[in-house]
A and B are shown apart, each in its own frame.
Chain A
């Protein structure tokens, strides 16, 4: 899809590969990072439009990284979508609180994943609870 850049941050290697394959197939330019540290060093050089963030990672977890990015002017406007494990129900609320614009449940569905991610690029924001910040996207 028109070459938008997406960064996937996930420590699950299989998921990282699958998600990357699916998004590349959907036309995105995809970067991957295995942990928060890698993600931060990548973000020094590139500015993705969207980050798919596994919120449960060893070391600095995805929620903390999200808050960090949302508090820095340079990265504040990147749309962050949480990846939450099916096993960790209830993480979605925390994801919104940290500044995520939405969440997708792992394991991802190979058939629909590309569309689900692309939906975050459409002008209509995905449903989110009142009070949380809607993503502001340039036209």
Chain B
């Protein structure tokens, strides 16, 4: 550290016990400017502690230091163990009570605030200057008669001489000196030359005639350079020496020591007239020089002090200014102008650390000079990097770089000060002069103080601005967000709310503030919310869907997230998800209910079956699926009209419901087919009772249009686990049993495997599947997905085909199902992924940038093997992971938790895209979509196939809206007509897939097809789907 380095020259330490941080900092700068080390303390206790660590040589004590009287602190500092002789300066505001008597005597001097740097410099120089001692300690101290009309100067020199080992007898003028000479019995006399009444030469001559002083050597002193003529005249007047005070106290002590004991020379001039004639021109010249210098120094000091005083007052006001930096220009100009400096520039560092010119003074040309200085930035940078100022002057032999800097700045002298605050260099202040004016020593403390003050001001302004901005930001976020924010106390009482909260609730702020957040919740949900809050108190966080009642009595659903902001204050953010919930409900209703009977449809039943199967697997309880077919329904429909047919269906549904338990599920699964799921079968034998009961319930005639109708129903039954362990198998087997019942004219049939011709085929397929991969019976075909925004094909879905030597093409559903049951599924998925990735790479080499989508099953997700496979494949592939999509059936995601969710998250983390396949055909909780790391969903083709039906349209449209709401892309599958494509496009659907575009195409033929199609042109240029903005144009 620079301070340390300069301090080492003298090794003196100054303790500053000053409460005001800025004053203390300014004093420290001034002390450092004199090359001393500082200890800073804001309190008496801190001062004592600092002094204990490092005994100071000088202490400056603020009279307003709290906690202890200054004289008490002075005393304690002096009596600390290991304390060195300590000089004390008292710092007092004008008019503040000062210590008197003995207490006051402890202090060398009282400095009045504000302290000008030059004044401080003088007062710290007195006790701290290294002074050679005149004689060994202990011997009698020689006595100096010190004559000076300037009381301040008298006091300063006296102190210095006393420290040098003299005793001093002060006299305010020649006459007084002659009077006290007899009592003081001086060994030597030191007299100022320029004194009123009797000047130094006259006094010297008078001393030669004085009985007491006749042989006592007299040393004359003046503040200025001593010319030869002066020395000659002094010698003629009988002086033993002539010392310039500006040379320093060492010079004077040396001269005194040399002259001590020698007898005084006899004066060469005998007459007063002679002396008068000689001394007049000398004095005139001295006076002239002194007057000139005094005037300049005084003006300068006055101006500097004034500027600094003013600056400290206005800078804080300025710092509170919106942004001080624009007014720095004015500030710098006025400061420099006031002290008579014509040029100066201020650089402040930008956030990147580079200095930028922020203010300049000295007319337009200074700008170009200031910028030119950057041509040689090493000097500015050196100042920025350090803590010390740097004086450049043509009079002090500047090094080459300095010379160049001065030349570029058009200056003969320059001082650069680092502008610092809180141990950070904010910039640099550069004072420039076209003369060597800046060599004057008092520019150092001035510049240091100015730089320090500027630094404090800028730092304060920046801190205030940051605080203001963050407060404004927080406020504007609070005011501007669409989410309602309620600030509450611990009890839930609202203490503040933002405009969105008043909009959401319909209550004005003053009414909201009278409420507890619990009062905003409808009665039926209050208990639930109380429980939530109980959890909140334990965990400190809340996130739940909660209903809110508005002032208008409307119920809105919000996602409520709460957090403790600080003790006693809680922020509850409520996002209105009513619309989303409404869409969700509607999609659910449309997707999962039969429009006629409003019973669950086949999709909903499958979901319920998946759940029930999971439970049954855990409990080991059997489960039964009953399929009921209405044999004569088609006839009724065609004779009585489909409206009556629908009414008949309603009545059948109603009778089924009436005869079942709450937990049982009734669904309409086909035009004339109902299904009943009995999930709580104690044992297989309990099955026949309910089966008969249901058939009996349907037997009574139903009267439509006054026509009594007898419904003929058949039932096929499959039981878990006996006839299958998944929904697919149970359905197939129940269908088979139903077929047998109808064929055999029996009311119901329970599935019998021996009677099922398909069972044979499955056994063969299962055993052949293992070899199919190796024997190249498996192949992939690719179905293009059209990007509706760009009109290009950017991705394909890979579909596995199995050409069995005996059965021919085996449908994917069938062999994938078999593979899942035999654990072959991992090998199958691995093969599919590998083949698809290699194909995509091959296309890339041909210049086609196509992403590939591969289907993944629930079984894949339940093991970690898929992750290893994907990782392995991506490692050896040049295809970016985001060009690979894994399509997951909704079934695979049911109750996605544990391993499944972890697998999804890892895959997502690897950069892959995840899409939900067959959306609408098997998912239960749409809100669950939010928690899954998926990017897209594919609407099941059954909706598109039934597209002319208005309810299908509603579902598709709502599903698109919902997906976009959740930030997901949407692919519509099964697009078969240009009209459907157009409608989808107008609804903002992202992708379309279907026969209209193309069926799946073997890999080898795909590129050819794409080039010939209207969608392939420039497909290679299609932007990657990943995260790209959705094109707005249709």
Contacts and interface: CB of A to CB of B under 8 A. Distances in A.
Interface of A: 12, 14-15, 17-18, 56, 58, 61, 63-64, 67-68, 70-71, 85-88, 93-94, 96-98, 105-110, 131
Contacts of A68: 553-554
B552 A71 contact: yes
A65 B596 CA distance: 23
Contacts of B524: 93-94, 96-97
Contacts of B18: none
Contacts of B643: 14, 17
B586 to A, nearest CB: 6
In terms of DSSP, what is the predominant structure of the interface of chain B?
helix
A88 B552 CA distance: 26
A14 B604 CA distance: 22
20 contacts: A12-B596, A14-B646, A14-B647, A17-B647, A56-B585, A56-B589, A67-B553, A85-B593, A86-B598, A87-B593, A87-B600, A94-B524, A97-B522, A97-B524, A97-B555, A106-B598, A107-B651, A107-B654, A109-B658, A110-B647
Nearest to A84: B598
B612 to A, nearest CB: 15
B527 to A, nearest CB: 12
Contacts of B522: 97
B919 interface: no
B654 A108 contact: yes
Given A86-B653, A97-B555, 14 more contacts: A12-B595, A14-B596, A17-B643, A18-B650, A67-B553, A67-B554, A85-B589, A85-B598, A86-B598, A86-B666, A87-B593, A107-B597, A107-B649, A110-B654
A98 to B, nearest CB: 7
A112 to B, nearest CB: 9
Nearest to A105: B657
Contact of B553 (A14, A17, A18, A70): A70
B519 to A, nearest CB: 15
Nearest to A18: B647
A63 B599 CA distance: 20
Nearest to B522: A97
Interface string B458-470: 0000000000000
A97 B557 CA distance: 14
Interface string B573-605: 000000000100110010011111111100010
Nearest to B646: A14
Nearest to A67: B553
A68 B550 CA distance: 12
Nearest to A98: B555
A117 B630 CA distance: 30
B338 interface: no
A88 B555 contact: no
Contacts of A63: 555
Interface of B: 522-524, 552-555, 582, 585-586, 589, 592-600, 604, 643, 646-647, 649-651, 653-654, 657-658, 666, 702-703, 954
Given A61-B582, A87-B600, A97-B524, A109 B595 contact: no
Nearest to B601: A87
A30 to B, nearest CB: 16
B967 to A, nearest CB: 24
A118 to B, nearest CB: 18
A107 B653 contact: yes
A114 to B, nearest CB: 14
B281 to A, nearest CB: 111
A67 B650 contact: no
B873 to A, nearest CB: 43
A93 B651 CA distance: 25
Chain A CB within 10 Å, residue with most, of B604, B647, B954: B647
A15 B593 CA distance: 14
Contacts of A97: 522-524, 555
Contacts of A86: 597-600, 653, 657, 666
B653 A87 contact: no
Nearest to B588: A88
Most chain-B CB neighbours within 10 Å: which of A12, A14, A98, A107?
Answer: A107
A89 to B, nearest CB: 9
Nearest to B578: A64
B586 A67 contact: no
Contact of B651 (A12, A98, A109, A131): A109
B598 A87 contact: yes
Contacts of A12: 595-596, 598
Contacts of B592: 87
B725 to A, nearest CB: 26
Contacts of A87: 589, 592-594, 598-600, 604
Nearest to B653: A107
A121 B523 CA distance: 27
Given A12-B598, A87-B599, A131 B586 contact: no
A15 B599 CA distance: 13
Contacts of A106: 597-598
Contacts of B594: 87
A14 B704 CA distance: 13
Contacts of B653: 86, 107
A85 B604 CA distance: 14
Centre residue among B524, B586, B604, B643 by max chain A CB count within 10 A:
B524
Contacts of A131: 523
A97 B522 CA distance: 8
A109 B523 contact: no
Given A71-B553, A87-B599, A87-B600, A15 B523 contact: no
Contacts of B702: 110
A14 B654 CA distance: 14
